[in-house]
Structure 1
């Protein structure tokens, strides 16, 4: 399986997260700010910024909520995940 497809498959795992770059691309494709994502999950904006930078990973409860959001965004914006993965971002 090609690398972009593996990353997309990871989106359907319950708490598996795609790469930080794909996370950001999905958020941007949906027109969401980091603050909006943070509010939806119940964390501070800085946490989302760190997750998207790959500096930290969300803790279990937040990870499940974040993964759920990203899966929903990937369904609505499948090209965002593919583009980010194929660009090597």
Structure 2
């Protein structure tokens, strides 16, 4: 019976949703990880991780499970920005003021 449950768990894990490719990249960069570091940890090539982040390919088990675990941990550390929140306007330096015009010369009345 345990074998059946293991098989079912494997099916569910292989279909567990991963973040969108752009979010995968955002999470990696948020933690300061390089493609090479992620590739080494997952024992895949750098180009493989790059393909996952670009949406050209999708990971397959067993790498998919490990990648999902990594991304899940990073998502808890670096939650996605709330799309409903107003965008923060970047602070701009005050506009340079035009120099004051020289005073008009006074004429004797």
- The answer to whether the superposition gives a TM-score over 0.5 is yes
When the two chains are superposed, the root-mean-square deviation of aligned CA atoms in Å is 1.7
State the partner residue of 1:33: 34
Per mean C-alpha deviation after superposition, the further-off stretch among 13-22 and 37-46 is 13-22
State the partner residue of 2:81: 82
List gaps (5 residues or longer) in structure 2: 1-11, 84-109
Instruction: Give the TM-score of the pair, scaled to structure 1.
Output: 0.72
Q: Distance in 2 between matches of 1:21 and 1:40?
A: 20
Of the two, which has the highest radius of gyration?
2
Query: Any idea what the Cα deviations from partners look like across 1:28-85, whole Å, max 9, x if unmatched?
Result: 000000110111111110000000000000112111000000000011111xx336xx
Name which structure has the greater RCO, CA cutoff 8 Å, separation 6+: 1
Spell out structure 1 runs of 4+ moving beyond 6 A. Answer: none
Instruction: Give the TM-score of the pair, scaled to structure 2.
Output: 0.59
List gaps (5 residues or longer) in structure 1: 1-12
